[in-house]
Chain A
Amino acid sequence: CSEPRSRYIRRNFTESSALLTRTHINYGVKGDVAVIRIKSSTSKVNTLSKELHSEFMEVMNEVWATNQIRNAVLISSKPGRFIAGADINMLATCKTPQEVTQVSQEAQRTFEKLEKAAKPVIAAISGSCLGGGLELAISCQYRIATKDGKTILGAPEVLLGILPGAGGTQRLPEMVGVPAVFDMMLTSRNIHADSAKKMGLVDQLVEPLGLGIKPPEEWTIEYLEAVAITFAKGLADKKISPKRDQGLVEKLTAYTMTIPFVRQQVYKKVEEKVQKETKGLYPAPLKIIDVVKTGIERGSDAGYLSESQKFGSLAMISESKALMGLYHGQVLCKKNKFGAPQKDVKRLAILGEGLKGAGITQVSVDKRLKTILKDATLTRLGHGQQQVFKGLNYKVNKKALTSFERDSIFSNLTGNVLKVDMVIEAVFEDLSLKHRVLKEVEAVIPDHCVFASNTSAFPISEIAAVSKRPEKVIGMHYFSPMDKMQLASAVAVSLKQGKVIIVVMDGPGFYTTRCLAPMMSEVIRILQEGVDLEKLDSLTTSFGFPVGAATLVDEVGVDVAKHMAEDLRKALGERFGGGNPELLTQMVSKGFLGRKSGKGFYIYQESVKSKNLNSDVDSILVSLKMPPKSEVSPGEDIQFRLVTRFVNEAVMCLREGILATPAEGDIAAVFGLGFPPCFGGPFCFVALYGPQKIVDRLKKYEAAYGKQFTPC
C-alpha cells in the first residue's frame, strides 16, 4: 500500500494551543475547531467548581472572539470521567439561600450563553456525566457519547436533597419529554449511553475501542475527539442537523403532552406518587415537580427564576445537609484506610448456603473472585447455587449482562478445592457450631488463609478462642439483601467486593447490632403496651425508616432477634432491657421465625403481595400485656422512644471506641439498618435535632420506664 495516511484531521493540522496554562481546562485549535479539554489537576474527577466555571468562561470568550474558530468540541481528558457533577463544597461555603441562588443564576447565565452562541459546541462524553456535568452537556448543541459501561448520564441531585440548579429542570423536559424527565430527576437513575441515545439525551454514539496502538481508554478518548471534530464540521457546514428524528411513540407522547389537561393529570399522578414514597419527609422531589411545572406552564423565564430560588432554599435546609453529609461519609468509607493487603484474595470459600452465604457468594463471583460454596447437604448447596444463578439471571433479564457474561461469571463458582486465601463462614449463629466449623476448616486451609466469621452478635475473641491462629480470625457482617445493600461492616478486611466498608472494634454486638437491639427491645415493649402492629409500622415508616419496626423483626428473623437480645443483655446488661424477651421466645417455639419461615408478626406467602397479620401472635401478646404509661403519648413519643434508644447506643459506641468516627456510624446506620436518610444517621440526627433536646427526651422516658433510657 501507499504510505499510511489518516482521515483524521488530527495529523493534518498542527495544533496551536493557548499559551496560558490553566488548572482545569486547556484548549487547542485544530483547523477551525476549538477542542476544549477538561482535566482538573487538583482532583481525580472533574467537578464544576467556581474555578472551573471561571476558566471555562475565559476559554469560551476566547473561542467566541477568535474569527478562525467556527465551532468547538468539549471533552474530558480523563478516561472514564466526564464531569461528575457540581462541586458540593461550593454550596457548603454559602451562608444564605440568596447566595446559593446567585451561584445557580450565574451557572444558568453561562449555560444560556453557551446554548445560544452562534458557534456550535459539541459535548464529547466518555464516562460519568452527572448533575452539573449533564446540565453543561445539554446546553451544548450536540452530544456524542462513547457506548460503554462507564458512560452514564443522570441527574442525581435529588439524592443530595437539592435539584438541578443550572437550567437542567428547564432544558431536560424539552429534550426527553415530561414523563421521562420526572423519572430521571426523581429517581436519579443512571442512564447508560445507549438508552440515553434512545431517549434523545445524546445524539450520537461512538464505539469504544479495544487494544490497538495505545492503551484502549486513552485511545478511545482520542477517537471520540476525532469523531466529534468531524461532526463539529458537519454541524458548521449544516450537513448534520442537531434536530433528532422522533419515533412514532415519542411523537404521540409529545403531542399528548401539549394538552393542558393531560399535563395536569401527569403532575397530579407524579405528586401523589412522590407524596406516598417520601411521606412528606423530603421536600426536594416536590420542588422539582413544581419547578418543571413552572417552566412549562409559565414560560422559561419564570422557570429559571423558580429553579434558582428553590435551589437556594433547598440547599439550606437540614434534609439536604443530612444527605450531603451521607454522601461525604460514603466517599470516605469507600477508601481503603489500611494500605495494600499482604496477599491479594483470589480464591474464596464460603461456608453455609443460607441467604447470607449465597448473597456473599454472588457479590464475590460478580467481582471475578474464584469462589467455593460449601454446605452440609447437596440440597442446600443446590439452593445456594440456584440463588446465585437467579441473581445473575435477573441482570440478564434487565439487559445489564449478556447470557454469555452470566455463564462466564457463574463459572467463578467452583467446586471443592480448599486452596483458598480466605474463608467466610456464614453458618447459623450458634457458638458451638461456629467453633466446630472453625476447627474443621483450620485443619485444611493454608497458613495465610484468613477466616472470617459472619456474626452479628458474638465477639470475635470468643469465636477465635478455639483457633490455632487467632490473629487470622476476623469478623464480617454483611447486610441483606446482599446484592443490593451497599454496606459490609467488617472487623478488618480488604475484600474487593465493591462494598462500602466500615471498620469497628471487637465487642459484643459490634456497632450495628448494638444499635438495633435496644430499638428492637423497645418494639417489644411497645407491642406489649397494646399498640397495634400496623400502627407501629406506619409510625416508624412515617418517621423515615424504610420498613416498619415490626416488619423489620420479621425481616431480620425472629430467632436472630431473640439471640441478639439474649446475648447482648447478658453482655451489656440493663440498657438492653425494656421489652419482655419472652415474646420472641414463644414466637420461636411456635415456628414464627419471620419472613423466612412464612410466618412472623405477619404472614408471608409466595405470590401474595399484601401482608396479613398473623393472628396467632395476638394470644402471646395478650398474655404479656403491660399497661401503657400515661405520661408518654402514643404517637410521637413512640417514634422517639425507638429512635432515642438507637441514637443513645450509637453515641455510646463512639465513646467506647467501637466506632472510629461518627461519619462511619452514620453510614452504617443509614445504609445497613435503614436509619432515616433525611436525618443523615444517628450522629447527624443529634446535631440537627439538638443534643440537649434528645437528652431531655431520654430523661423523660427514663423517669417513666427505667434505666434503659439513661442518657450516656
Chain B
Amino acid sequence: MTLVSGWLLYGWIIAVQTKTKKTLAKPNIRNVVVVDGVRTPFLLSGTSYKDLMPHDLARAALTGLLHRTSVPKEVVDYIIFGTVIQEVKTSNVAREAALGAGFSDKTPAHTVTMACISANQAMTTGVGLIASGQCDVIVAGGVELMSDVPIRHSRKMRKLMLDLNKAKSMGQRLSLISKFRFNFLAPELPAVSEFSTSETMGHSADRLAAAFAVSRLEQDEYALRSHSLAKKAQDEGLLSDVVPFKVPGKDTVTKDNGIRPSSLEQMAKLKPAFIKPYGTVTAANSSFLTDGASAMLIMAEEKALAMGYKPKAYLRDFMYVSQDPKDQLLLGPTYATPKVLEKAGLTMNDIDAFEFHEAFSGQILANFKAMDSDWFAENYMGRKTKVGLPPLEKFNNWGGSLSLGHPFGATGCRLVMAAANRLQKEGGQYGLVAACAAGGQGHAMIVEAYPK
C-alpha cells in the first residue's frame, strides 16, 4: 500500500519536475476524438441568410461536414444539435436537417438547448454516448437563425382562436368573437431577458463590468483586439473550419461578415446600449446577433483509426457549473475553469490555447478580474487563492464571438474547433474551452491535441 502510493508520488514528482506532459487518457474509459468540424460562415442577422430557415443552415453545416470528412452516412450512429430560439415548425431541428442533408433515415437525431452552451451540450452528450459504449460515431453541432424568430399571437388571442376551434354552433362562435378586443392583436416577442430575473443580458453584463471596475476603455480595447485578431486570422486563412455555403437564390457565402476592426475613437463615440446614460456596454463591445451553424464528427478513437482517419484532438474532461442568474449570470468561465483543470490534473500553465466565448468585452474582462482576485476566490468560490489569469497571448488568438459572431446554438463547436485547429497549427498539447450561458450556467472542457 505505502509502496504503491510512494511510487505514485514519485511518479508525480518526476512529472512535475521534468514537465513531461502526460496524456489525459483514463483507464477503462474509451478515448473520444474529434475527427474534424466545420461551420457555415457566421453572418450578421438580416444579411444573406435572412430568408432561410434554421434547418437550412444546419443542413449546410452537415453537408459541409460530409464533404470535408467523406464519412459514410450509414456509420453515423446518432446526431445531436443545439439550438436556443426554436423554430416551432422544426422543433427537433437536428432530425429535419439530417434528413435533408441526406443522412440515413435510420440515424436518430435529437436537439438540445442550454442557451449559449447548447452546442457544448450536444458535444458532451455525444462524448457520454461514446464513452459509455452506446455509440461509436456521433455528429454534434448547433444552429441559430436570428434573422427570423417566432413572434406569437398574444395569450388571449391564442386562447380565443383555440376556443373558436372547439366551438360547435354559430351561436357559440359569435359569442366568442364578441369577446375579441383589439389589444389581443398585440404580438408576443421571444423573451430577450432572463426569465427568472427579467433582466436583459446586456444589462447584467454592464452591472457585472461595473462590479469588477472594468472601464469603458478597457472594454473597447478588448473588442478591438478581438476584431483585429479575427481579421488577421481570416486574412491568413486560419479559419479553416469555415465551409462555403451557396445560399439558394444568392451568391456563395465564403466568409464571416461581422469582423470590422474600427478605432478606439470611433468606438468611444457610441452611447451605452443598456444602462443609460452612464453604462459602459455598447454595441461595439458586445457580440452581435448572428446566423450560423456548426457540425463536428466525433468518434471513439479506435473506430476513427480503424476507418483510417487522423483525428484532430481528444475531447477530455468537461465540467458544467451554474450560479445565481442575477449577479453572476456571466461568470461561468471563472467557476468552471479551475474545476475542470483540477479534474484533469492540470494547471493554468499547462494550457497552450484558451478559447473563451466572448459574449461581451465587459463579461470577459470581469471574468479576468474575478480570476485574478484573491478576495473573490476566498469569498465566493471557497478557494484559498485566486484562479489566476489566462495569459493573453494564448487567449482567443483567432478572434472570438465579439468579432466572428455568436449564433447562440452553434458557438460551442466553433470554440472546440478553434482550440483543436490552433493546437495543430501553433503546437502545444492542451486547449481549454470555456463559456457562460443564460440562466447563470457555464461550461469548460479540455481539448487535447491528437499526437502528430
Contacts and interface: CB of A to CB of B under 8 A. Distances in A.
Interface string A1-22: 1101111100000000000000
Q: Range of interface residues on chain B?
A: 35 or more
Interface in B353-375: 365-366, 369-370, 373, 375
A223 B365 contact: no
Contacts of A634: none
A214 B278 contact: no
B200 to A, nearest CB: 12
A230 B217 CA distance: 16
Interface in A178-227: 206-214, 216, 219, 223, 227
A224 to B, nearest CB: 10
Given A7-B216, A7-B217, A216 B327 contact: yes
Given A1-B222, A5-B218, A211-B328, A216 B211 contact: yes
Interface in A650-675: none
Contacts of B225: 1
Interface string B147-164: 000000000000000000
Interface stretch (B182-190, B191-199, B402-410): B191-199
Contacts of B117: none
Contact of B215 (A7, A206, A207, A213): A7
A214 B375 CA distance: 8
B275 interface: yes
A2 B212 CA distance: 16
A255 interface: no
A547 to B, nearest CB: 39
A402 interface: yes
A404 interface: yes
Interface in B363-393: 365-366, 369-370, 373, 375-376, 379-380, 392
Contacts of B75: none
B423 to A, nearest CB: 24
B177 interface: no
A6 B210 CA distance: 10
B197 A404 contact: yes
Contact of A8 (B212, B213, B365): B213
- For the residues of A in contact with B, the DSSP-based class is loop
Interface stretch (B95-103, B201-209, B302-310): B201-209
Contacts of B379: 211
Nearest to B216: A7
B327 A6 contact: no
Contact of B327 (A4, A5, A211, A213): A211
A1 B221 contact: yes
A223 B212 CA distance: 11
Contact of A213 (B206, B324, B369): B369
A315 B278 CA distance: 44
Interface string B265-287: 00000000001001010000000
A219 B376 CA distance: 13
B203 A207 contact: yes
A404 B210 contact: no
B84 to A, nearest CB: 20
Contacts of B339: none
B376 A211 contact: yes
Contacts of B365: 1
B326 interface: yes
B107 to A, nearest CB: 39
B278 A227 contact: yes
Interface residues of A, number: 24
B221 A210 contact: no
A213 B213 contact: yes
Given A1-B221, A207-B206, A212 B278 contact: no
A210 B216 contact: no
B221 A2 contact: yes
A231 B328 CA distance: 28
Contact of B210 (A2, A5, A223, A230): A223
Nearest to B279: A207
Contacts of A208: 207
Contacts of A223: 210-211
Contacts of B218: 1-2, 4-5
B111 to A, nearest CB: 26
B213 A402 contact: no
A167 B372 CA distance: 50
A8 B215 contact: yes
Contacts of B326: 210
Contacts of A210: 207-208, 211, 324, 326-328
Interface string B290-309: 00000000000000000000
A402 B197 CA distance: 8
Nearest to B376: A213
Contact of A219 (B197, B211, B369, B373): B211
A215 B280 CA distance: 21
Q: Give the one of B215, B278, B370, B379 with max A CB within 10 A.
A: B278
Q: Give the one of B203, B213, B218, B221 with max A CB within 10 A.
A: B213
B140 to A, nearest CB: 32
Given A7-B280, A207-B275, A404-B195, A212 B211 contact: yes
Nearest to B195: A404
Contacts of A212: 208, 210-213, 366, 369-370, 376
A209 B211 contact: yes
A404 B379 CA distance: 27
B207 A5 contact: no
Contacts of A213: 211-213, 369, 373, 375-376
Given A210-B327, A216-B327, A4 B215 contact: yes
Contacts of A404: 195-198
A230 B376 contact: no
A318 B439 CA distance: 57
Nearest to A402: B198
Contacts of B211: 209-213, 216, 219, 223
Q: Give the one of B196, B211, B217, B373 with max A CB within 10 A.
A: B211
Contacts of B375: 213-214
21 contacts: A1-B222, A1-B392, A2-B221, A6-B213, A7-B216, A209-B210, A210-B207, A210-B208, A210-B324, A210-B327, A211-B327, A211-B328, A211-B376, A212-B213, A212-B366, A212-B369, A213-B369, A213-B376, A214-B375, A223-B211, A404-B196
Given A4-B218, A7-B215, A210-B327, 4 more contacts: A6-B215, A211-B376, A212-B369, A216-B327
